[in-house]
Amino acid sequence: MTIIKNILSNSIYTYIIKLYYKTIYKTIYKSILIKTK
């Protein structure tokens, strides 16, 4: 039971982290685009 719980929470955490980094990446990318214009 604990193993399954750990796997579930881990996958949720990785999903959240991926989303977080995606948004950060987009923001940085946009700011760079604006600066170069």
Structural domain boundaries enclosing 19:
1-36
pTM: 0.54
∠ CA 17-23-35 to the nearest 5 degrees?
140
Q: pLDDT value at position 28?
A: 93
Number of domains in the chain: 1
pLDDT of the residue at 5: 85
Note the pLDDT of residue 19.
95
Residues 1-37: tens digit of each pLDDT? 688 888 888 898 999 999 999 999 999 999 988 888 6
